[in-house]
Homo-oligomer: A and B are copies of this chain.
């Protein structure tokens, strides 16, 4: 029916205007700024219906309309096309990420880039250990009876643990241990590594058994524990800047949630590469996030998502543009990490 068609068009216009002006939008303004081909009065009728259906709402009786979370959802799902980035933007992304010297640097640049591009808070997850494999295991003797284990993953992450040993260790044993560990674990996925530790204990040469036993518990912890999944956050100044109004005055619960990391981490890791995921306002379980929207996507190669990245902002955000930015940045990051 042509009615429904136009009503959706009205909703789209409302979302667009509200996002750009931050003012509740009235029927006259809509008719002026968009070519809807009908008069304000007709728009008013459509708006009444949209309100009844829960897509928009009015803050006060005689104010204009504002999209609800449900309205944004419909907009994102059916009314918007992901806006392609300009050539200049693409080039900026490339320039910005080029020349990064290590993983830390790549992710640091990524988060700054994303924050700058979207003017929102940007969040980037380190490549999950659980999806990485061992590239190299290094054993360094830092004291007579103390070793440092260094794990280097194929995604470039480096994790370290210090192990205290009951007795002094000689350098030869350290070298043997290193060889042993690497031949056992090199190329093994971290999720599978746990199972290999018992084997290792049995097959290790007699004189290394003790050492291996001591080291293995720490090893297990380093290899298997996927807990320590890190997050880089940037662009928090964007929160404080304009959005004070969007978050009923105070942004501090949101900042706290971001620093807490665990909540965002859970949300951001539920992604797969290529599909941009949008969570709007109340769709987020966590209380501090009910006023916010998340736009996330996985990065990595097509068949393997290394981690997630995305942005956090007010529900009143420019979804098409932000989705495009998030997707583009993720693609470049995936590319760069694949190369290194």
Which residues from B are CB-within-8-Å of A253?
Answer: 237
- Answer whether residue A159 sits at the interface, using C-beta atoms and an 8 A cutoff: yes
- Answer whether residue A301 sits at the interface, using C-beta atoms and an 8 A cutoff: no
Main secondary structure of the interface of A (DSSP, over half): mixed
Q: What does the 1/0 interface line of A154-188 toward B look like (CB < 8 Å)?
A: 00101111100000000000000000000000000
- Alpha-carbon distance between A23 and B152 when the two chains are bound, in angstroms: 55
> Contact between A140 and B136 (Cβ–Cβ < 8 Å)?
yes
Which residue of chain B is the closest to A340 with respect to CB atoms?
Answer: B162
> Contact between B135 and A142 (Cβ–Cβ < 8 Å)?
yes
Contact of A240 among B152, B162, B235, B250 (CB under 8 A): B250
Contact of A158 among B158, B230, B256, B259 (CB under 8 A): B158
Q: Which bracket fits the contact residues of A?
A: 35 or more
Which residues from B are CB-within-8-Å of A238?
Answer: 252
Which residues from B are CB-within-8-Å of A256?
Answer: 237
Contact of A102 among B104, B136, B159 (CB under 8 A): B159
| Complex copy number for this chain | 2
> Contact between A150 and B162 (Cβ–Cβ < 8 Å)?
no
- Answer whether residue A255 sits at the interface, using C-beta atoms and an 8 A cutoff: yes
Instruction: Report A288-316 residues with CB < 8 Å from chain B CB.
Output: none
- A54 to chain B minimum Cβ distance, whole angstroms, is 31
- Answer whether residue A236 sits at the interface, using C-beta atoms and an 8 A cutoff: yes
- Answer whether residue A31 sits at the interface, using C-beta atoms and an 8 A cutoff: no
- Alpha-carbon distance between A230 and B221 when the two chains are bound, in angstroms: 26
> Contact between A160 and B162 (Cβ–Cβ < 8 Å)?
no
> Contact between B240 and A240 (Cβ–Cβ < 8 Å)?
yes
- Answer whether residue A224 sits at the interface, using C-beta atoms and an 8 A cutoff: no
- Answer whether residue A101 sits at the interface, using C-beta atoms and an 8 A cutoff: yes
Which residues from B are CB-within-8-Å of A228?
Answer: 101, 105
Which residue of chain B is the closest to A101 with respect to CB atoms?
Answer: B161
> Contact between A235 and B259 (Cβ–Cβ < 8 Å)?
yes
Other 17 A-B pairs with CB < 8 A, given A101-B161, A158-B158, A239-B255: A101-B162, A101-B228, A102-B161, A103-B160, A135-B140, A136-B138, A138-B140, A140-B152, A148-B152, A150-B150, A162-B340, A236-B236, A240-B240, A240-B250, A240-B251, A241-B250, A241-B252
Binding site for B on A (CB under 8 A): 101-105, 112, 135-136, 138, 140, 142, 148, 150, 152, 156, 158-162, 221, 228, 230, 234-241, 250-253, 255-256, 259, 340
